[in-house]
Structure 1
Amino acid sequence: MTAGPTTTEVDTPHGPARVHVHRTDGHPRAVLLLGHGAGGGVEAPDLKAATTAALAAGLHVTLVEQPYRVAGRRAPAPATQLDAAWLAVAAWAGEEFEGLPFLFGGRSSGARVACRNAADGKAVAVLCLAFPVHPPGKPEKHRLAELDGVEVPVLVVQGERDPFGRPEPAPGREVVVLKGDHSLKADVPGVGAAVGEWLEEVSPAPR
């Protein structure tokens, strides 16, 4: 049995972030950092499913609450602030889990943060749950450059009726489409299965 999570606050340039660390049993393969959506928290069902799957695959998991959420605000901070806070947590995690490779991930806005910072954070892979390709009803305002710019393996898990659109598969990018919408609540077991299978493929061997 894995022990329960530990929670700590990490200083960032924009206030403290809160991190919830779940440690896998045995010899870990890597660490998965997961971020929440713009208006939600780390208790989202798809994030829980991804956490369970990652622990079973031999990864530690760090769920990251952005400083604006820790401060009690629901409106998201600007992208530059989200990115700076994310990289500050990644630096902290690099010391906490010295020597282990890192995967970045998140749902919705958190997936965008993971993509934008994959290179600077030296992530070996990126997990995107419900990547928001464009605002609902505005396909011309797409954010595909963030996703296309990732140069490591990517998994996108998307609902078939997601009003934020759906990215296409591409070299190095796998897209799994499940029933449901942007919340991914309609097939939570499907989320866990897709994430677990992908992690087994892309995660380094245990050390």
Structure 2
Amino acid sequence: MNLDEIAGVAHTPVDTPAGVVLLTHGAGGSREAPMLVRLCDEWANRGWLAIRYNLPYRRRRPKGPPSGSAAADQAGVAEAVAVARGLTDGPVIAGGHSYGGRMTSMAVAGEGPDDGVAVDVLTLFSYPLHPPGKPDRLRTEHLPRIGVPTVFTHGTKDPFGAIDELTAAAALVGGPTAVVEVTGARHDLASKTLDVPKLAVDAALRLLG
């Protein structure tokens, strides 16, 4: 399997990569999402090979949300990580925006001990903690099975989860965590004052240690 088979686009650093970063998109988006492009540019500038890729449902059709494709999309995350492992001897960092981050986190969590996809750090953007207006429908069941360092980058006005809710959810993760608050940002993490890619990459590299 190669980059074409996961519909991946590579951002290449000047020198030998320190490792590989894999990022995927939200439910209505694709690998062309501006935030993914900016994040991958930032990682490449830091010396990492950064790949933005499409989940299986997006490879099947160019528009529209996922529908009943969670298992296939998590398998797509595993495929992308396998491609990354073939490209580097260094660390592999994986994550994504909203739905893409959730699918990545579920793939890493697995269904039980030792059956999750192995990565070195998770980096999750606008994790969709619950549907807007439905805080009782939490998407946290798998978080305690995550044992790797995990960064949550989240807007303080995100309708998919308030910062205090997100912080409580992050505490469920079995590995070290960091929460990057983007003041005033909604689900798209747009900010006129903060360099969101820089903050997110800084946090991931600190957790990688």
TM-score w.r.t. the length of structure 2 is: 0.82
Identity %: 27
Task: Give the alignment partner of residue 140 of structure 2, picking from 140, 144, 149.
Answer: 144
Deviation of 1:187 after TM superposition, in Å, equals: 4.5
CA contact (8 A) 2:24 2:96 kept: yes
Aligned to 2:156: 160
Provide structure 2 residue ranges, at least 5 long, that are not aligned to the other structure. 110-115
Aligned to 2:4: 9
CA contact (8 A) 2:84 2:92 kept: no
Task: Give the alignment partner of residue 60 of structure 1, picking from 49, 53, 56.
Answer: 49
Q: Does 1:90 align with 2:86?
A: no
Distance 1:118 1:136 in 2: 25
Aligned to 2:185: 180
Q: How many residues align?
A: 191
Task: Give the alignment partner of residue 118 of structure 2, picking from 116, 119, 122.
Answer: 122
Q: Which moved more, 1:183-192 or 1:59-68?
A: 183-192
Question: SS of the residue aligned with 1:186?
Answer: coil
CA change 1:44–1:187 in 2 (3 A) is farther
Question: SS of the residue aligned with 1:117?
Answer: helix
Per-residue Cα deviation, 1:11-31 (whole angstroms, up to 9, x for no partner): xxxxxx311111212132211
CA contact (8 A) 2:156 2:185 kept: yes
Question: SS of the residue aligned with 1:164?
Answer: coil
Deviation of 1:9 after TM superposition, in Å, equals: 2.2
Question: SS of the residue aligned with 1:49?
Answer: helix
Aligned-residue Cα RMSD (Å) equals 2.1
Distance 1:202 1:143 in 2: 23
Aligned to 1:46: 35
CA contact (8 A) 2:42 2:201 kept: yes
Q: Which structure ranks higher in relative contact order (CA pairs < 8 Å, sequence separation ≥ 6)?
A: 1
CA contact (8 A) 2:20 2:48 kept: yes
CA contact (8 A) 1:46 1:129 kept: no
Aligned to 2:197: 192
Aligned to 1:14: none
Distance 1:133 1:156 in 2: 11
Distance 2:16 2:204 in 1: 15
Task: Give the alignment partner of residue 81 of structure 1, picking from 66, 72, 79.
Answer: 72
Letter in structure 2 aligned against 1:21: A
Provide structure 1 residue ranges, at least 5 long, that are not aligned to the other structure. 1-6, 11-16
Superposition pairs for residues 23-38 of structure 1, below 5 Å? 23-38=12-27
Per-residue Cα deviation, 1:86-118 (whole angstroms, up to 9, x for no partner): 2122222222x1423211110000111121122
CA contact (8 A) 2:153 2:180 kept: yes
Per-residue Cα deviation, 1:121-141 (whole angstroms, up to 9, x for no partner): 210100001000000111111
CA change 1:145–1:58 in 2 (3 A) is farther
